[in-house]
Amino acid sequence: MRNASIRVKITLWFSVALIIVVGLTYAIVLFAENTVIYKTIKDNLIETVEEKIDEIEYYPYIDDDDEDDCETYIRYGNGYIEIDDSFLKQENKNYTVLYKSDGTLVYGSSPVAMELSDFKFENREVRKLKSGETYWYVYDRKIEEPGLEGLWIRGVTSLEAGAAQFSYVTRMSLIALPILLIIAILGGYHIAKRSLSPFNQIVETAGNIAQGRDLKKRINLGEGDSELHKIAQSFDKMFARLEESFEAEKQFTRDLSHELRTPLAVIGAQCELSLGEDLTLEEHRDALKVIQRQNSKMTNLVEELLTFTRVERKTESYKMDKLDLSRLVSAVCEDMKLVAEKGILLTEDIEPGIYVMGNRDLLTGLLINLINNAYKYGKEDGRIKVSLRKEENRAILEVEDDGIGMAEEDKSKIFNRFYQIDSSRSSEGTGLGLAIAKEIANFHSGELTVESELGKGSTFTLKIEAIR
C-alpha cells in the first residue's frame, strides 16, 4: 500500500467509499422491505376495491334494450344489480368478491373463498389471514348506494403477490448497482489518472534538475486555478530561483577567480623576481611592499566577502537595537570629512530625532560604502551631500554626488557583486561595497535605490522604517 501510486490510493479509497454506500443502500432496502411491501399491498388493495364499487349499479327493472353483453345482471331485492365484466379482472393479483351481509356469495371468486366464509365483515379495515403457508390480506367495503344496501365487496390479495412487485425492483437494483459501481470505479480511476498526470511532469522536471542536466526546463502546465496548477506554478518559480541561484554562484566563482588572479599573479612575479636575481636591498623592499599591498587587497576582499555572505544568508546573529539614526549619520559624516579626496566637499542636511530599529555596525558600514563610492567616482573639487529626513513612517537617507554618473544600462547592475562601472578604477576597491550595502538594506527590510545621469552624478537613496 505504501508503494502504490497516488491515483491507485485515491481510486482504492473511492472504491471502498462507494462499496460502503452501496452496502448501506442494500441494508436500508432490506430493512424497509416489509414496511414498504405492506404499504404497497394495502394501498393497491384499497384502490382496487374502491374502483370496483363504481362498477356496480342498481336498477329497479331492466328492458331488453338496456341489456349489454359486457355487463352482468343479477336479481337483488326488488330490482337488478348491474356488474361490469371488468369486475372479475385481477389488478396486481387483487381478487374482488361481492357478498351479501350474511356471507352469501353474490358474484366473483377468490382462492380463499372457503377460508373466508366465517370471516366477519369489517368496513374499511385491512386484516391479515394465514391460509396454509400463505398470508392473505383482506379488505371489506360496505356498499351504501340506494338499492345496494346489505352488499359488501371483499378484496383479497396474497403477501407473495405484493412482494413480487417489490422483489422485481430489488432484483433490478442488485443487478444495476454493481454495474454502476464498476463504471464509477473505472471512471474514478480514469479521472484520477488524468488529474494527477501533471505530477509525472513535476517528477521528471525535478529529476532533470537534480541530475544537473537541464536547469532551464519548466513544467509549464499553463494557466489554471486548480491545486495542481498552483503546485506546478510554485515549482516553476522555485526552479527559476534555483536556476538564478546556480547562475549567480557560477558568476560569483568566475568573478572571485578573476579578482584573486591578479594579486596572486603579482605576488608570484615579485617572488620569482626576488629569488631569481641579485637585487639591492631597496629593490627587495619594493618587492615586499608590492606583495604587502596585494596581500592587503586579498585580505580586504575576503573580509568583505564574509560580510556579504553573513548578511545575505543571515548566518550570524546581528543585534537589532533602537538607534538614533540622526546621530549615527552625523558621526559618520564627521569621520568621512577627514578623507577629503580630490578636494571634494562633504556636506550634510540631517533632520534630528529620527530613530530606527537596526544594527549600528551594519548601518554604519552601509553609509561608509555609499560615501566611499561617491568619493571614488566624484570629480575634482566636487561635492557630496548626505541628507536624512522623515516622510510619514519612513526614514529617507540620501547620498548625492556630482561625479561621473552612470549610463542607464549600468543602473540595473550596479548592486551586483564585483561590478564596477570604470574598470580602470578596479584597483581602488573590491567591487563589493554596493552589493554589501544592498544586502544590509534588505536585512533591515529596507530599500536601496539609485538615480543617476551620465556625466552629472548619482543619488543613492535608502528607505527604512522609522520608529518613535
275-313 per-position pLDDT tens digit = 776 777 787 788 888 888 878 777 776 776 677 666 666
Report the b/e string of 413-438 with b at 16+ CB within 10 A: ebbbbbebbeeeeeeebbbbbbbbbb
Which pLDDT does position 245 carry in this prediction? Answer: 72
- Hey, what CATH class is 7-167 in? alpha beta
Question: Given this model, what pLDDT does residue 266 score?
Answer: 78
> Which residue do the cell numbers 464498476 mark?
182
Phi, psi of 284 (to 5 degrees): -60, -40
Looking at the predicted structure, is the pLDDT value of residue 133 above 70? yes
* Arch. (CATH architecture) of 215-316: Orthogonal Bundle (1.10)
Give the whole-number percent of the chain exceeding pLDDT 70: 82
Give the whole-angstrom CA distance, residue 436 versus residue 446: 13
The CATH code of domain 321-467 reads: 3.30.565.10
DSSP state, residue 188: H
Tell me what the mean pLDDT of segment 45-59 comes to: 87
**What is the distance between the alpha carbons of residues 125 and 138, in angstroms, rounded to a whole number?**
8
- How many Cα neighbours within 13 Å face the side chain of 38? 8
Q: What is the pLDDT, as a whole number, of residue 210?
A: 67
Amino acid 193: pLDDT: 74
Mean pLDDT of 57-73: 73
In this structure, the dihedral spanned by the alpha carbons of residues 354, 359, 363 and 368, taken in order and rounded to 10 degrees, is 130
Spatial neighbors of 166 by CB under 8 A, at least 6 apart, are 33, 36, 37, 40
255-269: pLDDT as tens digits: 667 667 767 887 888
Q: Which residue has better confidence, 344 or 235?
A: 344
**71-76: strand order across its sheet:** 56-59, 79-84, 71-76
pLDDT value, residue 248:
67
Indicate whether 321 pLDDT > 70: yes
- Rounded distance, CA 85 to CA 106, Å? 14
Q: State how far the Cα of 81 lies from the Cα of 143, in Å rounded to an integer.
A: 12
Cell of 327: 546621530
Model pLDDT, residue 316: 62
Copy the grid coordinates of residue 381: 573639487
- Mean pLDDT in the chain? 81
Cα 79–Cα 85–Cα 91 angle in degrees, nearest 5: 130
Where do the domains of the chain lie?
Answer: 7-167, 215-316, 321-467
Helix (H) or strand (E) holding 324: strand 321-324
Comparing CA positions, the residue from 129, 125, 123 lying closest to residue 158 is: 129
**What gap in Å lies between CA 436 and CA 361, rounded to an integer?**
13
Give the pLDDT score at 402.
92
Please report which confidence band the pLDDT of residue 461 belongs to, taking 50, 70 and 90 as the band edges. very high
Task: Give the chain's largest Cα–Cα span.
Answer: 165
Instruction: Tell which wins on pLDDT, 344 or 273.
Output: 344
Phi, psi of 410 (to 5 degrees): -80, -25
Q: What is the pLDDT of residues 113-125, one digit of tens each?
A: 778 877 889 999 9
Count of alpha carbons within 13 angstroms of residue 46, beta-carbon side: 11
Question: Residues 6 or more apart from 101 whose CB is under 8 A from it?
Answer: 121, 150, 151, 152
Compare 463 and 132 and report the one with higher pLDDT. Answer: 463
Q: For CA atoms 466, 371, 422, 416, give the dihedral sign.
A: negative
Q: Cα separation of 96 and 49, whole Å?
A: 7
pLDDT of residue 426: 47
Give the pLDDT mean for 322-346: 90
The CA distance from 365 to 447, in Å, is: 16
Is pLDDT at 427 greater than 60 in this prediction?
A: no
Q: For position 164, what pLDDT does the model report?
A: 63
